[in-house]
Each structure stands twice: as structure tokens, then as C-alpha cells.
Amino acid sequence: MKRASKKPLLRALEPKPIGILGGGQLARMLALKAHELGLKISILSENADDPAAQVAPLWQRGSLSSKQDLGNFLKTCRLATFESEFLDAGLLAALELETKTPILPRPADIGLIQDRLTQKQLLEKHGLPTAKFHKVESADEAWWARMVLGGETSPSRSAKNRSAREPAPVVFKKRRFGYDGYGTFVIRTQKDMEAFVAAELTKKSAHGFIAEEFVPFKREVAVMLARSSNGQTRLLPFVESFQQDSRCLWVKGPLKTNARFTALAAKLGKFINTVGYTGVMGVELFETERGLLVNELAPRVHNSGHYSLDALSEDQFTLHLKCILGQELGEPKLNAKGFAMMNLLGSSTVAPTWRLPTDARLHWYGKNENRPGRKMGHINALGATPEGALAVVQRERRKFEV
């Protein structure tokens, strides 16, 4: 019988594993799925009890910023991926050439997306709608951007000639290393602005900021994209993502979509193909009266896609592994009409306790320390509607003291 694909079959006990740079919860869930699929995984992280190190057959101690540690690790892998975009993209590109171990998504794509300025420019280049923005490198530029984005028509470029009237709110974001709202500053008043400039812009910031217009969104939406190196693409269902203190608390879906969602889905599919991206990508969106705006891209598996572990026939971690291996992607099908995911965020430093949930599935990350706001695990539930599933995870959440 003829084989449908020319791709070589995976061999059992492949001599070299797939490497994952990083040992947190995203790496752990990738490793667990790889294990189910019979794929050998090796983890590079600092501590033997990191969430992913606990569940992977192979682990190397090392720093993700050390050229030597990364190089030594890559040499032992047939290909590598990562769980965080906060890596040195230039260093990875050089090490990819040196070790001949492919890194996917490609270091060049990480480089563009990890910087909020080049990411916004990438969105504009590909015709993806996003909030207006300006580059900010000094206090004067910050004051000017606040005026322009806040609706002032001809603001002075000088910090000294400020308008007496409060402009509309604006948002400043660190160009690099922002996550969970760390690095995001919503400025509503003159006092907020003065405090922000004094704290962040009096000394030259290492990477600078972008200023963005404040978006009065109806709700926040997210969607996962996937592209295999064989060229196949997939778009998972659109979900609503609810943030508390700039941190994702829960996700529910699938959303009822309209022509605006369909148009954006087509643009995203075209974008990922034109860029030739390989792997899974998280897309955060704002739904506004005027339509959908892209807030942020993440070149990796993403918190807003964790529901897929239970709600879809093909979850984001499996899809990511298939993408980087150039394997055929399944068509993710819904396992229920509604689903929800609730993050289990730490609220103290006391070790968490819980009773196992009844009709929700627990995904615990095995972190050895509880901290306020820290993502310790999540629970997923299915239901007849998204709201029904959300009610289940909200109820089950009360069984945890995190």
C-alpha cells in the first residue's frame, strides 16, 4: 500500500528528543502531551523540581540566557521549541546555525513578536486591525503621545507646555518582558502620568515603551492559530477571556461569531501563511463597538487555549507538537456545546489545599511555592452552554484554597 505522505514516519525511540526551553507550566503541558503521543521530550530549566522537569524523562539544568547552556542543550535535541518569547532571539538564531538543531517557531519570528513595537508594526504591515500607537523613548515623547492618543489635535512636543484639560486615558506598555499586566500602565489622570514618568522615564529605559490609545472594549476575546511546517493551518474557536488586575481569570466559549469574526479569521489565516510561521500562536483581541482589534500576539501555546485540553478533539499542545514536526493536523472538534477554564491564581504564600473537583477537570502545575497572583493550575469544564460551563468552574473554584 502507498503511503499518503512523503514525510518520514516517526521512529520509536528516536535517538534525540524534542527540546523545550523552559520548565514552567506551558512546558509541562507540552511534555505531558508529548508523552501521550510517544514523543521523547527534554527540558532545559534551572531547577530539577520545575513544573516541566517533574514530568519529563530528560532534563538538563541550565540558564535560558547562557550561550553555553543553550548550545549544549540544543546539541542533544533533534529540534527545539520554547514556552516563553522572552529569549535572546539573536543568540538563538546563531545557535541554531551552529548546532544545526532547528528552533520552532523560528528565532526571527520570536524577535519580531517579543518587542511590542515591532509586533505592532507587523500587525499593521499585514493589515490586522490594532489600536493606534506611538514609540516612546523619553519623557517628552511620553507627554506628547498622551496628548495625541488622548485626542488632543495639535499638542506641543515639549513637556512644559501641557494642556490644562485631561486628555482621554492612554496605555503605556514596556516594549519587552511585559506579562500578566506587569509592564502595562493605564494612565487616566495628570497624577498617574506624573507618577509614571517619574518612575519609568527619568532614567533611560533599557528597551523603551509604546503608548497606545485606550480601547473601551465590550469584552476581551482570544483565539489560537496553528500552522504546521507542512503548510496546514488551523484556527481554534474564538473565546471570551476575562482579566482581573490585568491577569486572565477565566475563559469561556465558543463565542457566537458574526461577519466581523469571520473576516478577522480570514485575515489571521492569511497572516500566518504569509509570514510562514510554524507552531501555535495565541492572539488576544478587544471587541469594541467599531469591531475587533488585535491587542497582542504570543508566539507559543497560550493560557487562553488551555480549555482545549478538555473541550477539543485536538488540544493546543498536541497541535503545537504536530506543527513543529511538520505532521498532519487534525481538525479540532468541540467535545461539548460550551466550555470554560478557570485559572487557579495564588492569593497567599501558604501551601494550597483542595478537594478534587466533581464535574470539572483539574490541571495542577506542581509549583513548589504559592504566591499572590501566581498561576498554580487551572480547571476546565464542559457544559450545554458556555455560561453553564463557566458556572461549573466558578463553583468548583471554591473548593481550592490557593
Ligand X SMILES: Nc1ncnc2c1ncn2[C@@H]1O[C@H](COP(=O)(O)OP(=O)(O)OP(=O)(O)O)[C@@H](O)[C@H]1O
Q: Which residues bind ligand X (CB under 6 A)?
A: 131, 171, 173, 178-181, 183-184, 212, 214-215, 220, 243, 246, 284, 295-296
Is 337:389 a contact under the CB 8 Å cutoff?
no
As to burial, measured by CB atoms within 10 angstroms (0-12 exposed, 13-18 middle, 19+ buried), residue 206 is exposed
Nearest distance in Å: CB 244, ligand X: 9
In whole angstroms, give the CA distance from residue 170 to residue 74: 42
Does residue 50 interact with Mg ion by CB under 5 A?
Answer: no
Interface of this chain with Mg ion, residues 65 to 84, rule: CB under 5 A: none
Q: Rounded to an integer, what distance in angstroms lies between the CA atom of residue 378 and that of residue 324?
A: 26
392 with 257: CB under 8 angstroms?
A: no
Binding partner of residue 193 among ligand X, Mg ion, none, CB cut-off 5 to 8 Å per kind: none
- CB closer to ligand X out of 179 and 354: 179
Question: CA 151 → CA 140, 200, 293, 402, distances in Å?
Answer: 17, 23, 19, 43
Taking CB under 5 A as the criterion, the residue among 296, 310, 315, 396 binding Mg ion is 296
Task: State how far the Cα of 6 lies from the Cα of 53, in Å rounded to an integer.
Answer: 34
Quote the DSSP letter at residue 119: H
Q: Tell me the window of 48-56, 201-209, 228-236, 288-296 that interacts with Mg ion (CB under 5 A).
A: 288-296
Residue 177 binds which of ligand X, Mg ion, none (CB < 5-8 A, kind-dependent): none
CB 298, min distance to ligand X, A:
6
Nearer to Mg ion, 282 or 338 (CB): 282
- Contact partner at residue 181 from ligand X, Mg ion, none, CB < 5 to 8 Å by partner kind: ligand X
State the residue number with the nearest CB to ligand X. 215
Of 65 and 243, CB closest to Mg ion: 243
**In the complex, minimum distance from the CB of residue 296 to Mg ion, in angstroms, rounded to a whole number:** 5
Helix (H) or strand (E) holding 249: strand 247-253
Q: 171 is in the binding site of which of Mg ion, ligand X, none (Cβ under 5 to 8 A by kind)?
A: ligand X
Q: How far apart are CA 231 and CA 225, in angstroms?
A: 13
